[in-house]
């Protein structure tokens, strides 16, 4: 009978756990003997209240139970096993598990919002660890290990100090990886191989020879301090990588904004203009690897573009026109020209917003009406979204002014607003002004 058949439901009932006894054969019985059986509880139906109580009784998390760092006066049952357990990166050096003052000071330097540059933060953090290693050298235990650690940290500090002069993100990241290599991750990852510190092989996870199980051991605290520094250096490497990733994300976000401005705010381009301007994006905008000649990353956004045989609709200005719809339509072709801009800067850094958009070109305009059909040529200027060309027809033709649609609408809207304001002024007010 299946278990759900043994459940009773009623108006005020909950599922009942009904045990039943079954038999199972114990593996590994001796041949020739009757297999013995033991009673086994069938799969029970756990009441909901019991399940909740069971969940509440579970420990808060494995880290809290497993990362118990013994103090100087605490006797340890098994020093080798305890060393392997607390050496993990989630224990020694982790601010959530390790309450040592060094960890909190280190966390304040690399994680809290203080006014320090990225390289300065790394230097301050390494200086903190150098001070701890200096005290370890002056201590009473594991002098060889501490001297090797101090020499390694000193060399690391020298390399980081030289990074102040690096401004290219790739060069800075390469220098950071050289100064803080991946070897610092070995103790926190449980790797028992020797680390080379200060040119000397050091096994931080080997058992502490001076320690006897079930007795307090000061030398064990010295070893924990060494591993704590190694784990903090591994954290420092991740911090440097994270900051570089943040910088790369910011650069990608900036490039996305600038390309969007290039698409929407620069002059729209026909396919031949796209091909020409793309071909003109040299190594300065699209750098190549010196060895392979392959493109490195995304191309930077240019700050200018060539205009070539660019047709668009326009309006030819007429003195008798009272609104933009009364201007004569014209076909405008920019034969050759250039359009350029700058990026708005905030705190000395470029943003994705364009400013000072300006351009010029040689233009040809064609007007075809019932009374005239003629080509005219002349210079053309761009300022922001507005375009103005002054052209003259050949064979002694007359000069004309050609506007783009945006400028035409703006001119007549401003003209109408001026007319409306003047209409509000009474003639008596003007006479009073002139006679006074």
More confident residue, 144 or 40: 144
Q: Which of 365, 390, 386 is nearest to 375 (CA)?
A: 365
Please spell the DSSP secondary structure of 20-51, one letter per residue. -EEEEEPTTPPTTSPPPEEEEE------HHHH
Residue 166 within any structural domain of the chain: yes
Residue 30 within any structural domain of the chain: no
CA distance 219 to 197: 19
Number of domains in the chain: 2
Same domain, 206 and 305: no
Same domain, 158 and 307: no
Residue 23 within any structural domain of the chain: no
Q: What is the mean pLDDT of residues 156-173?
A: 86
Same domain, 122 and 177: yes
The pLDDT value given to residue 206:
92
Residue 1 within any structural domain of the chain: no
From the number of C-beta atoms within 10 Å of its C-beta (0-12, 13-18, 19+), residue 417 rates as: exposed
Same domain, 112 and 237: yes
Q: Which of 239, 431, 253, 225 is nearest to 351 (CA)?
A: 253
Q: Which of 374, 388, 404 is nearest to 312 (CA)?
A: 404
Same domain, 90 and 147: yes
Residue 264 within any structural domain of the chain: no
Residue 99 within any structural domain of the chain: yes
CA distance 117 to 87: 31
The pLDDT value given to residue 121:
85
Please spell the DSSP secondary structure of 172-230, one letter per residue. HHHHHHHHS-GGGGTTTTT--SPEEETTEEE-TTS--TT--TTS--HHHHHHHHHHHHH
Please spell the DSSP secondary structure of 391-415, one letter per residue. EEETTT--EEEEE-HHHHHHHHHHH
pLDDT at 62 over 60: no
Q: Which of 370, 362, 373, 371 is nearest to 332 (CA)?
A: 362
Helix (H) or strand (E) holding 311: strand 304-316
Same domain, 288 and 243: no
Same domain, 230 and 119: yes
* Buried/exposed code over 329-339 (b: 16+ C-beta within 10 A; e: otherwise): ebebbbeebeb
For the entire predicted model, the pTM comes to 0.50
Residue 55 within any structural domain of the chain: no
CA distance 313 to 156: 65
Q: Which of 350, 343, 337, 341 is nearest to 266 (CA)?
A: 341
More confident residue, 113 or 100: 100
The pLDDT value given to residue 285:
87
Same domain, 294 and 243: no
Q: What is the mean pLDDT of residues 359-363?
A: 96
The pLDDT value given to residue 423:
60
Same domain, 330 and 221: no
Share of residues in the chain with pLDDT > 70 (%): 71
Same domain, 73 and 176: yes
Residue 101 within any structural domain of the chain: yes
399-403 and 304-316 beta bridge pairing: antiparallel
Please say which residue of 251, 285, 306 terminates a domain.
Answer: 251
Q: What is the mean pLDDT of residues 333-356?
A: 94
Provide the domain limits for residue 236.
69-251
pLDDT at 336 over 50: yes
351 phi and psi, to 5 degrees? Answer: -120, -175
CA distance 370 to 205: 96
How many helices and strands (H and E) does the chain possess? 11, 10
CA distance 224 to 69: 9
Range of lowest pLDDT (272-276, 350-354, 399-403): 399-403
Same domain, 245 and 355: no
Range of lowest pLDDT (132-136, 234-238, 314-318, 432-436): 432-436
The pLDDT value given to residue 378:
93
Q: Is residue 349 helix, strand or coil?
A: strand
Same domain, 228 and 320: no
Q: What is the mean pLDDT of residues 172-197?
A: 86
Please say which residue of 251, 280, 300 terminates a domain.
Answer: 251
265 phi and psi, to 5 degrees? Answer: -105, -30
CA distance 423 to 436: 22
| Cα distances (angstroms) measured from residue 63 to each of 78, 83, 191 | 19, 15, 19
CA torsion angle 177 236 238 158 (round to 10)? -10
CA distance 112 to 135: 26
């Amino acid at each position: 009978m299946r278990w759900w058949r043994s459940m009773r439901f009623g108006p005020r009932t909950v599922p009942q756990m009904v045990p039943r006894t079954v038999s199972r054969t114990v593996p590994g019985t001796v041949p020739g003997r009757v297999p013995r059986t033991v009673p086994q509880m069938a799969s029970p139906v756990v009441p909901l209240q019991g399940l909740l109580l069971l969940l509440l009784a579970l420990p808060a998390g494995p880290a809290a139970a497993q990362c118990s760092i013994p103090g100087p006066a605490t006797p340890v049952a098994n020093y080798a096993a305890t060393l392997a357990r607390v050496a993990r990166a989630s224990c020694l050096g982790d601010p959530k598990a390790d309450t040592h003052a060094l960890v909190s000071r280190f966390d304040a330097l690399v994680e809290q919002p203080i006014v320090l540059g990225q390289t300065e933060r790394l230097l301050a953090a390494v200086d903190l660890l150098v001070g701890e290693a200096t005290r370890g050298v002056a201590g009473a235990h594991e002098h060889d290990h501490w001297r090797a650690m101090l020499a390694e940290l000193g060399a690391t500090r020298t390399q980081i100090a030289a990074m102040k002069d690096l401004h290219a993100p790739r060069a800075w990241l390469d220098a950071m990886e050289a100064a803080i290599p991946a070897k610092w991750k070995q103790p926190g990852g449980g790797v028992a191989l020797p680390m080379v510190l200060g040119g000397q092989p050091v096994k931080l996870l080997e058992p502490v020879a001076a320690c006897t199980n079930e007795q307090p051991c000061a030398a064990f605290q010295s070893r924990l301090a060494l591993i704590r520094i190694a784990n903090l250096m591994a954290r420092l490497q991740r911090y440097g990588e994270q900051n570089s990733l943040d910088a790369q994300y910011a650069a990608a976000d900036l490039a996305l904004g600038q390309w969007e401005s290039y698409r929407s705010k620069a002059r729209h381009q026909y396919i031949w203009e796209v091909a020409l301007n793309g071909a003109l994006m040299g190594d300065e905008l699209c750098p190549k690897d010196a060895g392979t000649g392959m493109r490195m990353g995304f191309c930077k956004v240019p700050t200018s573009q060539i205009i070539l045989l660019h047709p668009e609709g326009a309006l030819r200005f007429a003195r008798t026109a009272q609104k933009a719809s009364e201007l004569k339509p014209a076909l405008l072709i920019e034969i050759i020209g250039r359009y350029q801009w700058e990026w708005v800067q905030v705190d000395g850094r470029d943003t994705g917003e364009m400013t000072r958009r300006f351009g010029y070109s040689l233009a040809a305009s064609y007007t075809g009406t019932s009374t005239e059909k003629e080509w005219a040529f002349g210079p053309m200027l761009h300022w922001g979204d507005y375009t103005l060309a002054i052209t003259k027809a050949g064979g002694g033709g007359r000069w004309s002014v050609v506007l783009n649609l945006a400028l035409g609408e703006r001119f007549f809207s401003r003209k109408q607003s001026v007319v409306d304001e003047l209409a509000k002024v009474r003639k008596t007010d003007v006479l009073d002004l002139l006679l006074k």
